[in-house]
Amino acid sequence: MEQNSNAILSVRDLSVSYGHIPVLRGVSLEVLRGEIVVLLGSNGAGKTTLMETIMGVNTPGAGSVIFGGRDIARGPVDKNVRDGITLVPEGRGVFASMSVMDNLLLGAHQELRGVDKKLALVFDAFPVLAERKSQNAGTLSGGERQMLAIARALMSTPHLILVDEPSIGLAPIMVAAIFDILVTLNKEGYSILLSEQNVYRALKCAHRAYVLESGRVIREGRAADLLQDHRSTYWGV
């Protein structure tokens, strides 16, 4: 398959196994500049494995992940982050016993030049984090923790943000707030690859979507078209 010249990320024929068990089987997908692309799939479909492999955390048995003109699939992860790709992990991954501020500073990956400006930007986007910057992250609500995880990712000044199942465990009103934040970030110029089981909300905010089942892409297309597909309710359960 030919690479779209507007692609910020191109995943090609990616296969990953845990031991002898294949988890991703020849996955190909693209994120174009300025897009929100959603990855749908039920528990165990391979969404987290795909995101971690894109970041360079897992080593694929075959395939490539082209970002910034380079195959980043085999890491190193810190170089990939410095090159402009970042992951907001499933479960948020914030450090509960550290303050909100220290969690954010960790997100800067030791690049402390311009850190005050980056902090000002994230506090502007997430005023609740500014109010709570001295508080331990463990005292935040689930939704605030998800905001912190996204804000921490922004501290590395990414061009592409991978967001793994941000709505998990959140009250509906907070889910709506998190999707609004992702749409706003996208309008500000960030490209986003989002994994979700909340099919309806994800398709409403995304430009395009891929459906993963047992480690294979079984459907792809414009989010608006997939929303009309009567099978869509099954793609997140």
Task: Compare residues 45 and 175 and give the one whose CB is closer to ligand ATP.
Answer: 45
DSSP characters for 31-83? EETT-EEEEE--TTSSHHHHHHHHHTSSPPSEEEEEETTEE-TT--HHHHHHT
State the nearest-atom distance from the C-beta of 30 to ligand ATP, in Å.
Answer: 19
State the nearest-atom distance from the C-beta of 156 to ligand ATP, in Å.
Answer: 22
- Reported as half-sphere exposure (CB side, CA atoms, 13 A), residue 16 has a value of 30
Nearest in space to 186 (alpha carbons), one of 125, 96, 144, 120: 125
| Residue the block writes with tokens 């970042």 | 86
State the nearest-atom distance from the C-beta of 85 to ligand ATP, in Å.
Answer: 18
Nearest in space to 64 (alpha carbons), one of 14, 22, 24: 14
Q: Do the beta carbons of residue 201 and residue 167 sit within 8 Å?
A: yes
Q: Do the beta carbons of residue 217 and residue 211 sit within 8 Å?
A: yes
Task: Compare residues 44 and 221 and give the one whose CB is closer to ligand ATP.
Answer: 44
Q: State whether residue 103 is helix, strand or coil.
A: helix
State the nearest-atom distance from the C-beta of 50 to ligand ATP, in Å.
Answer: 7
Task: Compare residues 42 and 64 and give the one whose CB is closer to ligand ATP.
Answer: 42
- Strands 62-67 and 216-222 come out as unpaired
State the nearest-atom distance from the C-beta of 43 to ligand ATP, in Å.
Answer: 4
Task: Compare residues 94 and 155 and give the one whose CB is closer to ligand ATP.
Answer: 94
State the nearest-atom distance from the C-beta of 93 to ligand ATP, in Å.
Answer: 13
Q: Which residues bind ligand ATP (CB under 6 A)?
A: 18, 23, 41, 43-49, 90, 165
Task: Compare residues 44 and 172 and give the one whose CB is closer to ligand ATP.
Answer: 44
Task: Compare residues 89 and 143 and give the one whose CB is closer to ligand ATP.
Answer: 89
Nearest in space to 13 (alpha carbons), one of 22, 5, 1: 1
